[in-house]
Amino acid sequence: MPEIIEVEAYRRAISATEGRRIAQVHAPDEWFAKGDTTTDALRLELTGARIEEARRIGKLVILDTDGPRLGLRFGMTGKIVVDGAMPIDHLLYDSPRHEPAWDRFGLEFEGRGAMVLRDPRRLGGVQLDPDESRLGPDALSLTLGQLSQALAGSTVALKARLLDQRRVAGLGNLLVDEALWRARLSPVREARSLDPKETARLHRHIRRTLAVLGERGGSHTGDLHPGRERGGCCPRDGAPLRREQVGGRTTYWCPAHQS
Ligand SMILES: [Zn+2]
């Protein structure tokens, strides 16, 4: 699944379209238009608009135009193709095949170039004027104060709180498991139970995990990752990893060193 690191790479690739005017909108799939947005509205409102800036909050990429804002979500398998090139050409759940039907949305620009959102499993989507106020602070620039605020007073499991996009935008399942494993914190603790030292440690490890995975080129190359299978062991101390559902997501953690 594209995590925040990949989505930031997508945003950078998309920024190449800044300043271009949209000549044609390819929107063949009504299901891919989210919220109140329809494929007719996408064609009507975006054709002729000029791309001003490609921004990102969490895993949402927003294209500001001189008309509406356009939100892009990539779901489990979404990728971006800009002028025929992909910033990341292999993802964990990716298929090496390509079928034209996987091109769920696209923009052709006046003069030159095109942008295509390719999504085999069709779990992403596009939306006009998405509600950005529903997203918490972005994980890549998260401050200690923002993290403290996100956890304060919450009786929800720590991992569930970190995955709640309204509290922190952009942390995904594998990334949170890796950061909590590195920070020696249990995912099932109440979010509010962290003392200031633990919160600072978590903040440090979220930042480090993002940096390390960024250097390694993706979200699925963490140190915990080899142990993420039934019967898997902790890569640090060899203890059997616990596997359970937390916040609705499959979670691996080490009861020997995470508390
Ligand atoms: Zn361990």
CATH code for the domain of 142: 1.10.8.50
Which residue blocks in 164-221 are alpha helix, DSSP H? 173-183, 196-216
Q: Is residue 170 part of a domain?
A: yes
Catalytic residue among 34, 55, 228, 249: 249
Hunting for tokens 């989505």 — which residue is that? 7
Residues 124, 130: Cα–Cα separation, whole Å? 14
Q: Are residues 117 and 214 in the same domain?
A: no
Q: What's the CA-to-centroid distance between 66 and ligand 1, angstroms? A: 52
Catalytic residue among 20, 59, 167, 182: 59
Domain ranges, residue 164 = 136-253
Q: Are residues 125 and 161 in the same domain?
A: no
Q: What's the CA-to-centroid distance between 47 and ligand 1, angstroms? A: 54
Does pLDDT of 145 surpass 60?
A: yes
- Strand-pairing partners, residue 62, are 55, 71
At 39-74, the pLDDT tens digits run 999 999 999 999 999 999 999 999 999 999 999 999
**Catalytic residue status for 2:** yes
Catalytic residue among 2, 68, 130, 187: 2
**Catalytic residue status for 34:** no
At 204-259, the pLDDT tens digits run 999 999 998 888 876 567 899 889 999 999 999 999 999 999 999 999 999 999 99
CB 23 within 8 A of CB 51: no
**Catalytic residue status for 3:** yes
**Catalytic residue status for 240:** no
Q: How confident is the model at residue 91 (pLDDT cuts 50, 70, 90)?
A: low
Q: Is residue 37 part of a domain?
A: yes
CB 2 within 8 A of CB 91: yes
Domains identified in the chain, total number: 2
Q: Are residues 85 and 179 in the same domain?
A: no
Average pLDDT in the chain? 93
